[in-house]
Chains A and B, each alone.
Chain A
């Protein structure tokens, strides 16, 4: 008898778990579904309230065409991709080198220099923005890809994160390579660096998603529409089509698409990558 009621309460628990999860999933997914549905509607359909029009009467690609003609999307894609590419390369290359040195090598002033890394990590990025902008402006490099990459040339977080990874690699591996006649640089890039694949992937994803989402810096530094990123370009579109929701939704979808597709392909790496870098 007791066993039976235990069984029932277990079933009730399982059902409740599913009910809550499905409810949550619906709330999470609804804005995306609504975005897709709206992007195919006419303005009249999207603004209909009594009753609300849920499905567009036809697949109207015109909204996408209009979004593409009002914003130079090809440039925005290219700018965003180049910014992400250079930021990732810089972050991985420089952070790997420094992370290895801080973890495995002995040198004078190590703690002081690592202190600089920690100070940067604990300050909000906005504190650097005005002087960074003035430097870019003084060099006459506003409205360039370089300007977009600029604050991301070094990544203090990357150094901190990869230092931890290198500290987890046994000392003996490096020593063996050293005894085989490798110098410190060869030990690093032939033996140690290849062992950090998972962490490098995590840092890559973290850097890419962060750069892609960033709004303030691209807005400040690149005011020329052709040199904007997807994020800052969308901010412009918002002002231009304040009530034409189908075009706004089409533009947002176009901006989201590349990252969402990458995410759906590399789900495991994205979730694990962001989860490991997130617990910093």
Chain B
């Protein structure tokens, strides 16, 4: 039975509740909900300048799907995910396992691995640009190569992926470490009496037990990889001829919307990115049944 009349106390509680959620809800409606609706609408419009729009139907989308630069940006974004997420997660899990061993200076190592997390991408990419510099960079000197790491279209994506992995490894490792610490020690003890080696232990105990955490970290990492912008923007400026080989969807969005001023087209790119994120999320949640272990 649903109560129609609230008691005075319940009514007072309700009024306080509305008062307390009001700033958040008003803020979300003004700052997020309404802008979301507007972006969907302007993706069907031509921007006439100064925030004025004219409805043009599917023009932006047709233009987008016929544009080679757009498809290249989509592919670059997917490639960036493929290059950074699996390798990054593998290395982060390795670091987490090493940090989970009985070692000294654990805190010190943790501090060092986590350090890139508190440095703005704008600042750390600056030194990577120097390290990767084709003429003066230390990387080429170290390996005796002459590779234009951030000017050669064949290498620029790999260079950005390396910086991304380096930046996130400590953060992911800390999250995975928390997952590893929840695995009961007795599981390993019982297993090693049975004569299982460390590699077998990894696949029979560690990986299944840590898989729920790994899944969460993977989703988070994928989401941020699809939205990558700042790192690539700082590594590869617009005037760099290699920019088309590494430009992500959000980089293209920034250039279209705020450099070229074509906000209708920019909106269409964002909507496309949201659809891509949705698709990846669905694939992940379907795929997780095959490898994520929630029984334990």
A-side residues, CB < 8 A to B, are 13-14, 17-18, 20-21, 24-25, 27-29, 31-32, 34-35, 38, 46-49, 52, 93-95, 97-98, 100-102, 105-108, 110, 113, 116-117, 119-120, 123-124, 126-135, 137-138, 150-151, 153-154, 156, 159, 183-185, 188, 209, 212-216, 219-220, 230-232, 234-235, 238-239, 245, 248-249, 251-253, 255-256, 259-260, 262-264, 267, 270-271, 274-275, 278-280
Contact = CB atoms under 8 A, between A and B. Distances in A.
B138 A278 contact: no
A123 to B, nearest CB: 6
Given A105-B17, A119-B33, A275-B178, A24 B220 contact: no
B28 interface: yes
Interface of B: 10, 12-14, 16-21, 23-25, 27-36, 38-39, 42, 51, 94-95, 98-99, 101-103, 107, 109-124, 126-131, 133, 135-136, 138, 141, 166, 169-171, 174-175, 178, 198, 213, 216, 220, 223, 226-227, 229-230, 233-234, 237, 250, 253-254, 257-258, 263, 266-267, 270-271, 273-274, 277
B115 A32 contact: yes
B112 A29 contact: yes
Contacts of A231: 120-123, 230
B115 A28 contact: yes
21 contacts: A13-B198, A20-B98, A25-B113, A28-B112, A28-B169, A49-B141, A52-B138, A94-B24, A94-B27, A98-B20, A98-B24, A98-B25, A108-B14, A131-B38, A131-B39, A184-B12, A209-B118, A219-B254, A230-B122, A230-B123, A279-B178
Contacts of A116: 25, 28-29, 32-33
Contacts of A220: 254, 258
B32 A120 contact: yes
Contacts of B16: 101, 105, 183-185
Nearest to B105: A21
A279 B17 CA distance: 28
A228 B223 CA distance: 27
A31 B98 contact: no
Contact of A137 (B51, B128, B133): B51
B134 to A, nearest CB: 11
Contacts of B171: 274, 278
A18 to B, nearest CB: 7
A223 B264 CA distance: 22
A278 B35 contact: no
A32 B34 CA distance: 43
Given A31-B131, A120-B32, A124-B273, A184 B17 contact: yes
Given A25-B112, A154-B31, A279-B216, 15 more contacts: A13-B101, A14-B101, A28-B169, A29-B112, A95-B24, A97-B20, A101-B20, A127-B36, A131-B39, A154-B27, A156-B32, A234-B123, A248-B129, A264-B111, A278-B175
The 5 closest A-B pairs by CB, nearest first: A154-B27, A131-B35, A184-B16, A107-B17, A98-B24
A214 B131 CA distance: 23
Best-buried of B16, B220, B257, B270 by chain A (most CB within 10 Å): B16
